[in-house]
Amino acid sequence: MLNKIKKYLSDNTGYLIRLDDIAENMNWNMMDQTTSLFDKFNIKPVLGVIPNNKDPELLSYPKKKENFWQQVHKWKNKGWEIAMHGNNHVYDKFCKKIDYLSQGGNTEFCTHSYENQLKKIEMGLEKFSKENMKIKIFFAPNHTFDSNTLLALKKSGINEIIDGYGLMPYEEKGIKFIPQLFYKIFALPFGIQTFQIHLNYYDQNDFENLKKFVELNSKKIITYTEAVSKINNNLFFKLTRIFTKKILQIKRLF
Ligand SMILES: [Zn+2]
């Protein structure tokens, strides 16, 4: 019995690493160090690539000499998962807590008309397809999207989002959601969690912390395919979604 419980817990505990704001302009020094670390431990993260980055803040980071899209193909060929992170990452609206996850804030998508959102998503996908890349996963800048975003994504053939509440991937409105709870690396003892990492804001100290975490937990770090295979819509996990939503809405604590 105890062994069965142990097996259940270990089968349903895993960490997925999501690197945000991957674009031509970024903190390449941190990206290079992180790449070596992940290669050493055979970690395969998800990269949130911004196809047409026009975010003034992100554009202030340096470019690399090497062609960016060749680099994206290299990551993909290693088995890293490539997701679309918005289209241009420009926050052209602010939404109150009427977005899908009820968080509110600056947004590229939320409160835009369906037609507008569809255009944004199509522009992003066009860039990927020009670079010979097929995309099936999306996550919005600043977590802000609404039901029109979901409709526009489905219309464009995207049915998977890395965001949302709870302890286990789930399906809702025809979309697969892989939950993303905390801003910092904060490992819960149970559940499938996504760690959101912004290397642009990393200093050497942050990197050392990430390194320590990876060294200690590399066996629990899973791939995107493993995460999505854990989709579970049962009542217990539905309740954990409601519970984590309530807690994180009070304040994004981590
Ligand atoms: Zn972002």
Q: pLDDT of 12-48, one tens digit each?
A: 889 999 999 999 999 999 999 999 999 999 999 999 9
From the CA of 32, how far away is ligand 1's center (Å)?
Answer: 19
- Model confidence band, residue 254 (pLDDT cutoffs 50, 70, 90): very low
From the CA of 139, how far away is ligand 1's center (Å)?
Answer: 9
- Model confidence band, residue 251 (pLDDT cutoffs 50, 70, 90): low
From the CA of 21, how far away is ligand 1's center (Å)?
Answer: 5
From the CA of 25, how far away is ligand 1's center (Å)?
Answer: 13
**Residue 62 to residues 24, 31, 189, Cα–Cα distance (Å):** 8, 12, 38
From the CA of 77, how far away is ligand 1's center (Å)?
Answer: 23
From the CA of 123, how far away is ligand 1's center (Å)?
Answer: 17
Q: What is the mean pLDDT of residues 67-73?
A: 97
Q: Percentage of the chain with pLDDT > 90?
A: 74
From the CA of 234, how far away is ligand 1's center (Å)?
Answer: 31
From the CA of 58, how far away is ligand 1's center (Å)?
Answer: 9
Of 248, 253, 238, 233, the residue nearest 102 (C-alpha): 248
From the CA of 52, how far away is ligand 1's center (Å)?
Answer: 12
From the CA of 13, how far away is ligand 1's center (Å)?
Answer: 26
pLDDT value of residue 253: 47
pLDDT value of residue 158: 98
Q: What is the mean pLDDT of residues 158-162?
A: 97
From the CA of 121, how far away is ligand 1's center (Å)?
Answer: 15
Give buried/exposed letters for 162-178 (b at 16+ CB in 10 A, else e).
Answer: bbbbbbbbbeeeebbbb
pLDDT value of residue 161: 97
Q: Is the pLDDT of residue 252 over 60?
A: no
Maximum CA pair distance of the chain?
A: 57
Q: Is the pLDDT of residue 182 over 80?
A: no
